[in-house]
Amino acid sequence: MENTDLLVNLPEFLKAVKDFQAVGKSENPEFTLIWLKAETWLKDRFISSMTEDGLSKMEEFLRIRPLDSDTEEDRRQRLLAIENKALPYTLRKLKEVLGNTSGEGNTDVLVEGFSVTIPVKLASLRSLDFIRETAEQMIPMNMHFEIHVIYNRWRNFSKKTWEEMKSCTWEDAHQNEKWQKGVS
């Protein structure tokens, strides 16, 4: 934030005048407020730095309803993905948009004839509705698409003992990305 002390900008001989000191003292809070509002306004111009209020206004403008469980970062990612869904709708662009939405490597797009398959890793399950909406918008109408959720496989857990898994909760074992990749 900028220095809003008005007396700093006055010449030395005027700083000693009581009238100017009184004016500076009474006007400083208003200038501080103006600088704070200007700073917030500038932050709200860019999705990456938006405040809570800016995110809400942008979502309202785009008619997006955030989930109760969404964090600010989830909301930002959704807004960025919407902004990135610009023409042309190519396979490369679809992969890029889905990668931005659900995280790099959590989705893929497989095309075979007039059929499109989108495998989605369980870690990006929260963005499944958005992935479906994006696919409906970007995939041509004469092509059929399916979204497959890739669940954790038993082989990732079969070599583990209960003692080794004691530190994990069921939710962690179910949704954690490391188990989807098969990392032990």
CATH top class, domain 89-151? alpha beta
Per residue in 107-141, pLDDT (tens digit) is 899 999 999 999 988 665 667 888 888 888 888 88
The whole-number average pLDDT for the span 82-86 is 76
The amino acid at residue 105 is G
Q: What average pLDDT is seen over the chain? A: 82
Q: CA 133 → CA 18, 21, 39, 142, 182, distances in Å?
A: 65, 60, 35, 16, 29
pLDDT at 169 (0 to 100): 78
- Degrees (nearest 5) of the Cα angle 150, 134, 109? 45
For residue range 166-177, list pLDDT tens digits in order.
787 777 766 666
pTM attached to this predicted model: 0.49
Tell me, what's the pLDDT at 184? 46
**pLDDT at site 144:** 93
pLDDT tens per residue across span 141-152:
889 999 988 776
Domain residue extents for the chain: 6-43, 47-84, 89-151, 152-184
> 71-77 long-range CB contacts below 8 Å, 24 or more apart?
74/126, 76/47, 76/48, 76/50, 77/101, 77/127
